[in-house]
Amino acid sequence: MRLIFLGSPASVIAPLARLHADAAEHGHELVAVVSQPAKPVGRRGELTDPPVAAWAKARGILTLQPVKAGEAGFLAAFRDLAPDVAITAAYGQILTNEFLAIPKRATINVHPSLLPRYRGAIPVPAALLDGLTETGVSILFTVQKLDAGHLIAQEELAIAEGDTTATLTDKGFALGGVMLFPALERLADPDFKGTPQDEAGVTHCKKIKKEDGLLDWTKPGATLVSRFRAFEPWPGSYTFHAGRRIAVTAMRREAASRAATAPGAVQFDKAAAALRVGTGDEPVLITRLKPAGGKEIDAAAFWNGLKDKGAVTFSATENPS
């Protein structure tokens, strides 16, 4: 089959790379890649391609970058490529019915959750926010209703204790790449329509806002660590100390149970090389931080840089009363 891949962020290069390397071996042809347009980056505003487009161009793969996937010029070019299957993975644009009518066999999507759970744009943070120890990857037919198409394949994926949105997203799309060729084999049967999703089990991802990264030390420690993992790399997690914003870049739960301390109260644990911070129940450990306007440092450097170590407190407000 003639395949076209649609995606944008670095995390979905893994399934694209597998298609590029092995499509011919499986009797398929990767004919083009579709990605978002280049955007200004940095102080100079230099136009920079999204990672998928840059990767594809470096390998001489035909790359299309429409401003909107529904524009007439793009649809004409897409139609001329005569795709049998379009494969989407974090492409970042809504696909019209006119687009979906072009691939001869189907448009399919690689989605990093066990659908029907976590339909929407942020299934990986949603799983981490809920404290799950297992999630998965679904390959499904793309329809106009969000993530509602029939399932082609599903695989479970364990969530490691140290996984963040960044690491778990990479793992999910790597697994999706492994799943693609068996999924395409199923599509070779023109009568294969997939398995309907159980509508009774549908859940949707909640939108994440930038301010969600503020750490509320009155919440339970497990909740704070789950939020930290979900919000890494965006929007990140932060707190305030002495009126200064502090980004928290590494946080974990303690292996052993500890007595509760006042929410936000900070002590330094030399053996753990970490700051022990009080929460609504058991303390958490912070090992790396980035003060506003400064470089990322470890917990020891932060502690040693404090002038007054008598009553150090992290706060959810810039100027606590």
Taking only the tens place, the pLDDT of each residue in 31-79 is 999 999 999 998 888 999 999 999 999 999 999 999 999 999 999 999 9
The Cα–Cα gap between 226 and 119 comes to 20
Confidence class of residue 258 from pLDDT cuts 50, 70 and 90? confident
Q: Say if strands 39-41 and 237-241 run parallel, antiparallel, or are unpaired.
A: unpaired
Question: Among candidates 306, 304, 301, which has minimal Cα distance to 287?
Answer: 301
97-134 per-position pLDDT tens digit: 999 999 999 999 999 999 999 999 999 999 999 999 99
> Which string of DSSP letters, residue by residue, matches 183-225?
HHHHHTSTT---B---GGG--BPPPP-GGGGB--TTS-HHHHH
- Percentage of residues of the chain with pLDDT beyond 70: 99
Question: Among candidates 149, 160, 164, 159, which has minimal Cα distance to 86?
Answer: 149
Q: Is the predicted pLDDT of residue 247 greater than 60, yes or no?
A: yes
In the three-class reduction of DSSP (H, G, I as helix; E, B as strand; rest coil), residue 268 is classed as strand
Residue 283's pLDDT is what?
94
**Interacting residues of 274 by C-beta distance below 8 A, sequence separation 6+:** 268, 285, 286, 287, 299
Q: Is the predicted pLDDT of residue 268 greater than 90, yes or no?
A: yes
The mean of the pLDDT values for the chain is: 96
Residue 104's H or E segment, with its range, is none
Residue 320's pLDDT is what?
66
